[in-house]
Amino acid sequence: MTAQSEAMQTASRNGEGPVRLAAFDFDGTSLDGNSPVMLVKHLAKLRMLNPTVLLRIGLWAAAYKLRLPQNEAWVRGLVFRAFAGKPKAEVDAFLHDFYDECVAPHVREQARQAMDAWHEQGVTVICVSATFEPIIERAMRDLPFDYQISTRMKVNYDGTYACEVDGVPVEGDRKMIELRRFANAKWGEGGWELAASYGDHHSDRALLAGAKQGFAVCPDRPLGRTARERGYQVLEW
């Protein structure tokens, strides 16, 4: 029996008590790929971002790969320059279509199966992701997420999107912070427990550490080391 199966059986035996949650990262975990990167490529193909903006995004991405400190909110604002002056409803529809065309084919079937298995044990499945909220809202019609926490962009008084994050991106340690905030508001402190977390990137360490059972999905090297040190199961999806 795998550690994943054992965790599910343990969650099932708990019976009455706190609401049990299984948290899934999206990009690189539920998805074989990165939806913001896919979006930038899609926008570039449609010539919706000017070359200067694309260059700045590319330089940010290069520094990110080198694990240098980066401003997550700033780069998301650059991406949303493609939608400057456009109504929220129009942009959301564009991003929903983008999901169907570019993102959906990369959804990992193993992730879907894991979510279904948790549901069978009475566990609530929640997506915690740094990607843009409309993308995850569309993913909720494709994958069995019960709730989602993702990065929201500000909306101007006239109903158009601003090129600015509303609050902070749901990235790195913020994932566990925002999950705790959401769960406390919905079920109350002590009214929930994180049975399992799934992540692929070293920035998901806090999310995995906050769960009773952590699962490292096709992890990068730093998360792979953490998985070995802390006994997380490594899933090669």
Q: What is the pLDDT of residues 88-147, one digit of tens each?
A: 999 999 999 999 999 999 999 999 999 999 999 999 999 999 999 999 999 999 999 999
Q: Could you read off the pLDDT of 170-196 as tens digits, one per residue?
A: 999 999 999 999 999 999 999 999 999
Residue 40: what residue type? Answer: V
pLDDT given at position 13: 47
Mean pLDDT confidence for 20-26 = 99
What's the pLDDT band for 2 if we cut at 50, 70, 90?
A: low
Longest dimension (CA), the chain: 56
Checking if the pLDDT of 8 tops 70, the result is: no
Report the C-alpha gap between 28 and 158 in whole angstroms.
35
- CATH for 3-235 is 3.40.50.1000
Triad 7, 12, 18: Cα angle to 5°: 100
Residue 1 has pLDDT above 60, yes or no: no
Q: How many CB atoms lie within 10 A of CB 96?
A: 16
Please state the rounded mean pLDDT for residues 63-69: 76
The answer to whether 54 touches 75, Cβ cutoff 8 Å, is no
Domain ranges across the chain: 3-235
Contacts of residue 200, Cβ cutoff 8 Å, sequence gap at least 6 = 25, 27, 28, 29, 216, 217, 218, 219, 220, 223
To the nearest whole number, what is the mean pLDDT of the chain? 94
- Using one digit for the tens of pLDDT, what is the confidence trace for 208-229? 999 999 999 999 999 999 999 9
Whole-number pLDDT of residue 74: 95
pLDDT at position 29 is 99
pLDDT on residue 5: 56
